[in-house]
Amino acid sequence: MTTTTRLCVASFASLLLASSLSLPVSAQAGPPPDPQQGQPYPQQGYPQQYPQQPQGQPYPQQGQPYPQQGYPQQYPQQPPPGQPYPQQGYPQQYPAQPQPYPPSSYPPSYPPPGGAYPVPAPRPRGAMHRGILLMGYLGVMGFGGKSSAESDPVASSGTALARPFGVGAGLRLGGLLGFFASPMLSLNAELTLDFPSTSTPGTGNDLTAVRAAFSFSPLFHMDAGNLDLAIGPKLGVWTMDLSQPNFDGDDTLSYRGWNVGVNVAAMVKLGHVSLGGLFALDSDHVDTACLALDGGGDDCQSVNDVSSQTVLSFTGVILF
């Protein structure tokens, strides 16, 4: 080896020695410690249920059992008194506080406590009138003054009827049938049958009398508490026959004409029906008088000298 080569090797060794002596102490201390060193390694194969806590610090919920590994927690853990603890990684299954349900659109089935549903005012019966009207009556009738037959000069002197004769009070029956045009107004047809009593003083002959009237009789209805009140006019036609038997047949004297009048009724409400009384006033005007002797044909003529007759009646009435 030459002298030059030896000098080069010695110089290279000197440089290596000098470099090793100049390194800092920290570089010789070795690599820095791992920051994760000292932390427990997470369990393999199971999801981490809660974040790992640093060593030396207690778990926030003391005394609480650690959740089972591998199973989801069904209900949230209850926080310690005075300290709510947020749920870690688990959805809240139920709200912490029950939410009030929105008000229902349906009316309540029962009244609120301490209260009651308002009671509607009772409807007057007059406001409930509708449909068909049916009214029947039965009672007594009479004449205000003389009947038309008693005031007829022909009947008292030129007929075969027993003379003198009289016509007095008797039985009345009839009814009204119609419908309610409104709760306060009914439109009705009325049929009336009268059976006046007769007398033939000083004779042994029998005399019978029958009066019939057919009229249009509207009624105005009014409510008065427990009473039904009704009032209305009437307009129609009438006839009255007086018959006397004899050996050859019946002798009959008839009067016909038109009539006007009024009906006034007061009734007590009894459920679906009303009971009460009916007062009626009729004024009969005579147009025609007819005479039939021995059962023969009628001999009729217009008359203007026969007085009209007034008929009064009072009957018991039932309204359906």
Q: How far is it, in rounded angstroms, from Cα 304 to Cα 100?
A: 93
Asked if residue 106 lies in contact with residue 285, where contact means CB atoms within 8 angstroms, the answer is no
Q: What is the pLDDT of residues 238-258, one digit of tens each?
A: 999 988 877 667 788 889 999
Which band of pLDDT confidence, cut at 50, 70 and 90, is reported for residue 224? confident
Half-sphere exposure of 158 (CA within 13 A, CB side): 6
Tokens of 249: 């047949």
Tokens of 48: 């981490």
Instruction: Name residue, tokens 């003391």.
Output: 62
| Residue type at position 108 | P
pLDDT of 221 above 90: yes
Q: What domains appear along the chain, each with residue ranges and CATH number?
A: 145-319 (2.40.160.70)
Q: How far is it, in rounded angstroms, from Cα 286 to Cα 151?
A: 11
Stated as kind and residue range, the H or E segment containing 224 is: strand 219-224
Q: What is the pLDDT of residues 59-99, one digit of tens each?
A: 555 555 555 555 555 555 566 666 665 555 555 555 556 56
Q: How far is it, in rounded angstroms, from Cα 294 to Cα 159?
A: 11
